[in-house]
Structure 1
Amino acid sequence: MKKILFFLLFSSILLFLTSCNNENTNKKIQLAEVTRSIFYAPQYVALEKGFFKDEGLDVELQTTWGGDKTMTSLLSDGSDIALVGAETSIYVYAQDSKDIAINFAQLTQTDGTFLVAKEEKSNFSWDELKGTTFLGQRKGGMPQMVGEYVLKQQGIDPHEDLNLQQNIEFAHIPSAFVSGDVEYVQLFEPTASAFEKEGKGHIIASFGEESGIVPYTVYMAKQTYMDEHEAEMKDFTKAIYRAQQWVAEQPAKEIAQTIQPYFEDTELEMLTSSIERYKSQGSFATEPLLQKDAWNNLKNIMEEAGELPEDVAYEELVNTTFAKDVLQD
């Protein structure tokens, strides 16, 4: 009897110690995302499907709502890794920061906004925008810079040919479009599709299709963190790559069902159509490697918008080590 009790006690202790050891091996990573968006579907897939956990990572996600706040969180050690527009790393570099932010994995590779009109346009021509009131995005942010870049490619000077409004906060742009005397607006999904379904607007063009490949949203970390946590960086990148491949292979509805817990107020049908729209135009990167051509396209877009503070070389702010290692495994 004593032997049985001793065996049970010993087994319990061993189980407890094993459990503790497993918890300790899950390396914690604080991840900050610039906003909550269907555009970031592969990230939510990695969380929901357990891809991070498979790599021994305990990833805690926080939404920091805005590029400035996201970078503040990263630079002040409020987060370890940030998902934000690649342009923010250039802004930080230009401020002579002691600890620069390095881009190491790309998540989205096109702009994610759509041109929405109040009235239906069966045969839309970009020239129709001239002389109209256009509700744009925040000055210096990727949506606005890409918007201006595309308009210029279409022969439209956004500051001369349009009544361009940029004084509305990101969260209030949709309601300002509906209630205001505005003819056109630049919107993300699922808002663009929701407006179309509700008769509040009509999607007539895609800025993502017009702008080409660009590192629109990327993962970045401070140089010091990256140097001290190389194993975690590779494991994180591996989980993201796995999620990117899964998203590329699965139908939109399956993806929508997987990430729905992150969008409880959005109907499954709307999630599905939004994901399908992004998939069809190649918005989700299928691998984490940020290419040099895409980086140069980003700088061209920033320069066209008058927002490039410094011509920063690809090799200076992009670390491809982890992405290349993952792709070769």
Structure 2
Amino acid sequence: MRNLDFRHVASACAALLVFMAHSAIAKDTPEKPALTMAVGGLPGLYYLPVLTASQLGFFKEEGLDVTLEDFAGGSKALEAVVGGSADVGAGAYEHTIFMQAKGQHYRAFVLMGRAPQIAVAVTKSKADTLKSLADFKGAKVGVSAPGSSTDLVLTVALRKAGVQRNDISVIGVGSGATVISAVSNGQVDALSNVDPMMTKLQRSGEVKILVDTRTVKGTQEVFGGTMPAATLYASDSFIQKNPKTTQALANAIVRADRWLQTASDADIVKMVPAVYLLNDKALYIDAFHNVREAYSPDGLMPADGPPTALRALASFDSRLDPSKIDLKATYTNDFARKAAEQAR
């Protein structure tokens, strides 16, 4: 009789373990496994953590089938998220502040960049007349897209030099090969843009860098503190309805952030699609090293980041009233913190 009881107990225990295993799997299964992410310029190193998570299968390993929709700049990607054609955005943190000012609630839930990775430069043909930002009045300046973070960095830097946004002409030139065309065709006198294009133009002598936020030090010189850059963000309603999906996305990006901290040059070249290497692997690697320290090591929003961003945005857009912004509602570290704990 005891043997029979033991067998029953053993069988019940085995069944319980199977049930618990299935429950654990179900618990971690994303509510929305197939989703679309709008990216504000995938060829740029600004979004390398997204590309890394996609290329190395980190999204898939989290149970996600992510379609990456590429746009000319962060503001265009934001439009896709707000319009509903994309579920999640990959873009600058400041978008969440701007949207709150408009009465719409979006939240960054994992950080990819702790520095904007944007350089402001003058073209070779205009270097003699545009010797500093103070000389930019009347200049035609290319940005990835008006309203994007390239525009923000440009505006903040110009104001420090005594030049207002309406003193210049801003032209959207994207962040890929179109940047090179804009310079070679004389479409712009100066640029505010991202790597690898800025490194390519710098190496060829086509531009002279005047402002550089590709490093933490350069960022602090422009903004007076840590300026959070690329994030994944979504509407509050999406996050509330899809917490497991949001966690899975954060897990994948934190893994990508960490991978980029130690990846070798060979690892990078192997991971990045050939079309993004610009037929010059050495150039791409140089650009990567120019921005490497700008990537977040852990996906967490630094404490001084949101206040720094708010100050910058208030100087960028006089319609923004800082006193009406609840910074704690523009981001959360809950998902990134949990992702970091799971990765230990």
Distance, in Å, in 2 between the alignment partners of 1:144 and 1:217 is 14
* 2:63 is equivalent to residue 52 of structure 1: no
Aligned to 2:227: 214
Alignment of 1:1-329 (within 5 A): 27-36=33-42, 37-97=44-104, 100-119=105-124, 128-132=132-136, 133=139, 135-137=141-143, 138-153=145-160, 156-159=161-164, 164-170=168-174, 174-180=180-186, 184-203=190-209, 205-209=211-215, 210-212=218-220, 213-261=226-274, 263=276, 265-279=278-292, 282-307=293-318, 309-311=320-322, 312-329=325-342
Q: CA deviation at 1:174?
A: 4.4
Distance, in Å, in 2 between the alignment partners of 1:242 and 1:72 is 27
TM-score, normalisation: structure 2: 0.76
User: How many residue pairs are counted as aligned between the two chains?
Assistant: 298
Deviates most, 134-143 or 267-276: 134-143
1:136–1:164 contact (8 Å) kept in structure 2: no
Structure 2 portions without partners, runs of 5+: 1-28, 221-225
Q: CA deviation at 1:300?
A: 0.9
CA 1:185 to 1:77, structure 2 compared with 1: closer, same or farther past 3 Å? closer
Runs of 4+, deviation exceeding 6 Å: none
Distance, in Å, in 2 between the alignment partners of 1:96 and 1:131 is 37
- How big is each residue's C-alpha offset from its partner over 1:134-183, in whole Å with a ceiling of 9 and x where there is no partner? 62535533222222323444xx11229x9633144446554343333865
2:146–2:172 contact (8 Å) kept in structure 1: no
2:41–2:47 contact (8 Å) kept in structure 1: no
Distance, in Å, in 1 between the alignment partners of 2:340 and 2:141 is 41
> Secondary structure in 1 aligned to 2:294?
coil
RMSD across aligned C-alpha pairs, in angstroms? 3.1
1:256–1:275 contact (8 Å) kept in structure 2: no
- How big is each residue's C-alpha offset from its partner over 1:166-210, in whole Å with a ceiling of 9 and x where there is no partner? 144446554343333865432321222222333322345413442
> Secondary structure in 1 aligned to 2:307?
helix
Distance, in Å, in 2 between the alignment partners of 1:275 and 1:188 is 11
1:135–1:173 contact (8 Å) kept in structure 2: no
Q: CA deviation at 1:101?
A: 1.6
Distance, in Å, in 1 between the alignment partners of 2:318 and 2:181 is 27
- How big is each residue's C-alpha offset from its partner over 1:44-86, in whole Å with a ceiling of 9 and x where there is no partner? 1111111122222222211133334322322333222110122
Deviates most, 63-72 or 244-253: 63-72
Distance, in Å, in 2 between the alignment partners of 1:187 and 1:69 is 15
Structure 1 portions without partners, runs of 5+: 1-24
Q: Sequence identity, in percent?
A: 16
Q: CA deviation at 1:93?
A: 2.0
Q: CA deviation at 1:262?
A: 5.5
> Secondary structure in 1 aligned to 2:246?
helix
TM-score, normalisation: structure 1: 0.79
> Secondary structure in 2 aligned to 1:130?
helix
> Secondary structure in 1 aligned to 2:168?
strand
Q: CA deviation at 1:89?
A: 1.9
CA 1:86 to 1:128, structure 2 compared with 1: closer, same or farther past 3 Å? closer
Q: CA deviation at 1:230?
A: 0.9
